[in-house]
């Protein structure tokens, strides 16, 4: 009996030593095109609450964001036009498999989220991009005067 209790206690001690607690929340640095600001401002708090990650979002023109991504500014997510994302993927400044179409303003202005290869929070960044592209969020884009994306970017 004493050996059984000792084994159980030893097993519990080993398990307790392996437990490191819940995964640490990431703080994502996001650069977002000003045109998507209304939708992202509405969706960001819901992502933070559901995922437990903190977002630090800077809004700017798509052109300035493209320059920052090309210069490898320390960011985790960039939200730009499809043409800019495609260009930055070709020169390996954004990861092609991380992209998702989000919304459009007319046929030639499609916005895409993507993550750079140097992001230290790649999984959390992809989770945010997928959250923004989720079908459940289509109504937000429509309410803000945009057309939600119908297909993924990759």
- Please report, for residues 7, 50, 69, 72, 90, the alpha-carbon distance to residue 93 in angstroms, rounded to integers and kept in the order given: 53, 29, 7, 7, 8
DSSP 143: H
State the pLDDT at residue 18. Answer: 35
Per-domain residue ranges of the chain: 25-148
CATH topology of domain 25-148: D-Maltodextrin-Binding Protein; domain 2 (3.40.190)
In tens digits, the chain (154 residues) has pLDDT values of 554 443 433 333 333 333 333 457 889 999 999 999 999 999 999 999 999 999 999 999 999 999 999 999 999 999 999 999 999 999 999 999 899 999 998 877 889 999 999 999 999 999 999 999 999 999 999 999 999 987 555 5
State the pLDDT at residue 30. Answer: 97
State the pLDDT at residue 25. Answer: 85
State the pLDDT at residue 106. Answer: 80
Dihedral over Cα of 117, 56, 32, 58: its sign: negative
- Please report, for residues 36, 105, 138, 139, the alpha-carbon distance to residue 144 in angstroms, rounded to integers and kept in the order given: 9, 10, 10, 9
State the pLDDT at residue 15. Answer: 37
pTM equals 0.81
Least Cα distance to 85 among 106, 55, 116 occurs for 116
């Amino acid at each position: 009996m004493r050996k059984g209790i000792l084994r159980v206690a030893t097993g519990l001690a080993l398990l307790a030593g392996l437990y490191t607690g819940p995964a640490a929340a990431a703080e994502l640095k996001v650069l977002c095109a000003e045109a998507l600001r209304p939708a992202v401002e509405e969706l960001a708090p819901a992502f933070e609450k559901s995922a437990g990650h903190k977002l630090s979002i800077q809004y700017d023109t798509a052109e300035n964001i493209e320059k920052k991504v090309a210069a490898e500014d320390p960011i985790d997510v960039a939200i730009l036009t499809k043409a800019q994302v495609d260009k930055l993927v070709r020169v390996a400044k954004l990861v092609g498999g991380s992209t998702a179409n989000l919304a459009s303003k007319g046929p030639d202005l499609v916005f895409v989220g993507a993550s750079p290869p140097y992001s230290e929070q790649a999984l959390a960044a992809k989770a945010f991009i997928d959250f923004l592209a989720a079908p459940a969020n289509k109504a937000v884009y429509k309410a803000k005067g945009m057309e939600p994306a119908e297909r993924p970017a990759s």
